[in-house]
Structure formats: C-alpha cells, structure tokens
C-alpha cells in the first residue's frame, strides 16, 4: 500500500506544481507552458516505476486459511484471483469447506443461509492499485475444497496460470471466467452439472474423466478448438458423447471464447 501511495503522491505533486507554475504565468525558455511537460514526465515516471517493479518485486507473506463448514449441507464458492498461480483441488477436512495456502493476501466473506454456506474469496488488493505497475507481490493460491459437499463453484480469474482439478469434487454448477491466462481444467468425474466457460485471450485444456459423458457447445471468435471426436463426435451444433442422454454422469459444457486456444480431451 505504501508503494502505491508513494507513486500516486508523486503524480499528484507533479500535477500540482505544474498547474501552479502555469497559473503564475511561468514559462519554459522556449515559451511553452509547464503543463505541456505533464504527460511526458508522467510517462517517464510510470516507465521507471514499471522497471523498478520488475527488478525489485515485493515480498509477500504466506497464510493458512481454514473456513469452517458450520454444518452446512451444500455450498456456493466464489474465488476471484488476479495475476499469479492458482490451484484448486480436493482435500479440505471433514468439517472444513475450504483449506487454503495464500500468498499475497486474501479477503473472505462467509455467510450461512439455511443449509447453504456461501463463501467468497478475493485478493486483498490495495485501493487504486494498477495491475503490472510498480513493485508487486506474488499472488499464489492453493485451495483445497471439501469433496463431499454439493458445491456451486464460480471462478473469476485474471492473467494467471491455473491448475483446476475438480475430479474428486461434488460440483453442481461450474462457471469459469478467465482473462489472458493458461488454464488446465479437469472436470468432476461424477454427477450431473452445467459448466459455463467464458474465455478471453486464453489457453485452456479441458480433461473430461473416463465415465463422464459430455455435451459441448462452443461460440467462438478467433479461437482454435480441438476436440477428441473419438469420444465426443460432432452432432449438429454440439460435440456429444453417444450415451449423453442416458448416462448417469454428465457435463453440459458451454464455451464462449475470443482469441483462445482450447483443447478438450
């Protein structure tokens, strides 16, 4: 926070000095106004701040987070993550909804609504911080989720590298939004659920476990889509398992992508 305050303090001080000089009628030797220096000087300062951030990255503390299940029978879990590394998998304890190792700070909100536990986690960003500008802390999350609780999972990811292994989880609904990211997603092996995937300039590999039937519909911009058609032959506007309508375990997958590279296997 102090670094961001320092940067914005310098910017505001520069602007104030140049505005004062301009109002007092002070001119440069070439006759131009001091205010005409604002943007060139600001760009020089921001460029220096970016370079400083590359070579002098801040250190960040790692914390262990445990969110109690509170006796809930179902859950909704929303995870927002920015730049860094991000992992989700099973492994929370019997009485936990989430157990996580967080580097870079986290804000969490937990609410019990009847039998449903609602959990939201997001990075503890500084106010007025700008991504990729200045010294930044590592943002590294390793999140273990209770495998036995039916969970609606929403992931909102930024420019990160993600490994999302849901193979052992009880997912009732999955929503994934990514920016310029590299994501490896393994779907749950059991259950009947919807998977809504919204991608930016992303690389996404989806692994569909054996025994899980799937129907895949894709709405693509400048995207490259590769599907294992030996498992999911094209049928009209879908790629679909031959036994999709009768299978006990199914995933209904919708993909909306821009300039993405997508592989489904």
Q: Domain ranges for the chain, please list them.
A: 2-55, 62-264
Is the pLDDT confidence value at 87 over 90? Answer: yes
Q: Which residue, among 21, 13, 22, 20, has the nearest Cα to 42 in the 3D structure?
A: 13
Confidence of residue 134 (pLDDT cuts 50, 70, 90): very low
Q: Specify whether the backbone of 233 is left (phi greater than 0), alpha (psi in -120 to 50) or beta.
A: beta
Strand order in the sheet with 160-165: 62-68, 96-103, 140-145, 84-90, 160-165, 182-186, 203-207, 261-264, 224-227
Cα–Cα distance measured from residue 112 to residue 74, given in angstroms and rounded to the nearest whole number: 10
Q: What is the pTM of this model?
A: 0.76
Longest Cα separation, the chain: 82
pLDDT of residue 20: 66
Confidence of residue 127 (pLDDT cuts 50, 70, 90): very low
Query: Comparing 203 with 171, which gets the higher pLDDT?
Result: 171
96-119 average pLDDT score: 95
Decide if 115 contacts 65 (C-beta within 8 A): no
State pLDDT tens for residues 239-250. 999 999 999 999
State pLDDT tens for residues 163-175. 999 999 999 999 9
Core vs surface per residue 113-144: b (16+ CB within 10 A) or e: eeeebbbebbbebeeebeeebbbbbebbbbbb
pLDDT of residue 105: 87
Got the DSSP string for 150-186? Answer: -EEEEEEE-SEEEEEE-TTS-EEEEEEEESS-EEEEE
59-83 average pLDDT score: 91
Cα–Cα distance measured from residue 132 to residue 112, given in angstroms and rounded to the nearest whole number: 36
Decide if 81 contacts 160 (C-beta within 8 A): yes
Cα–Cα distance measured from residue 117 to residue 149, given in angstroms and rounded to the nearest whole number: 10
147-158 average pLDDT score: 96
Cα–Cα distance measured from residue 79 to residue 21, given in angstroms and rounded to the nearest whole number: 48
Confidence of residue 21 (pLDDT cuts 50, 70, 90): low
Cα–Cα distance measured from residue 11 to residue 128, given in angstroms and rounded to the nearest whole number: 13
Is the pLDDT confidence value at 181 over 60? Answer: yes
Confidence of residue 107 (pLDDT cuts 50, 70, 90): very high
43-65 average pLDDT score: 66
For the beta carbon of residue 16, count every other beta carbon within 10 angstroms. 10
């Amino acid at each position: 926070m102090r670094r961001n305050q320092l940067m914005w303090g310098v910017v505001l001080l520069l602007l104030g000095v140049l505005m004062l000089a301009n109002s007092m009628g002070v001119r440069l030797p070439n006759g131009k106004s001091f205010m005409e220096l604002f943007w060139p000087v600001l760009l020089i300062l921001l460029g220096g701040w970016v370079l400083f951030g590359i070579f002098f990255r801040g250190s960040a503390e790692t914390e262990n987070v445990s969110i109690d299940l509170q006796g809930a029978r179902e859950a909704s879990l929303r995870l927002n993550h920015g730049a860094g590394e991000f992992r989700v998998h099973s492994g929370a304890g019997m009485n936990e909804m989430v157990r996580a190792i967080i580097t870079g700070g986290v804000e969490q909100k937990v609410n019990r609504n009847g039998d449903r536990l609602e959990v939201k986690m997001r990075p503890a960003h500084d106010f007025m911080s700008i991504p990729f500008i200045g010294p930044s802390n590592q943002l590294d999350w390793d999140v273990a989720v209770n495998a036995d609780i039916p969970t609606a999972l929403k992931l909102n990811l930024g420019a990160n590298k993600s490994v999302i292994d849901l193979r052992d989880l009880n997912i009732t609904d999955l929503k994934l939004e990514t920016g310029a990211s590299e994501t490896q997603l393994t779907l749950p092996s059991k259950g009947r659920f919807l998977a809504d995937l919204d991608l930016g300039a992303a690389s996404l590999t989806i692994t569909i476990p054996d025994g899980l039937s799937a129907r895949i519909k894709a709405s693509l911009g400048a995207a490259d889509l590769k599907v294992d058609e030996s498992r999911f032959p094209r049928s009209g506007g879908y790629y679909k398992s031959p036994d999709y309508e009768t299978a006990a375990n199914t995933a209904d997958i919708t993909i909306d992508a821009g300039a993405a590279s997508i592989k489904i296997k």
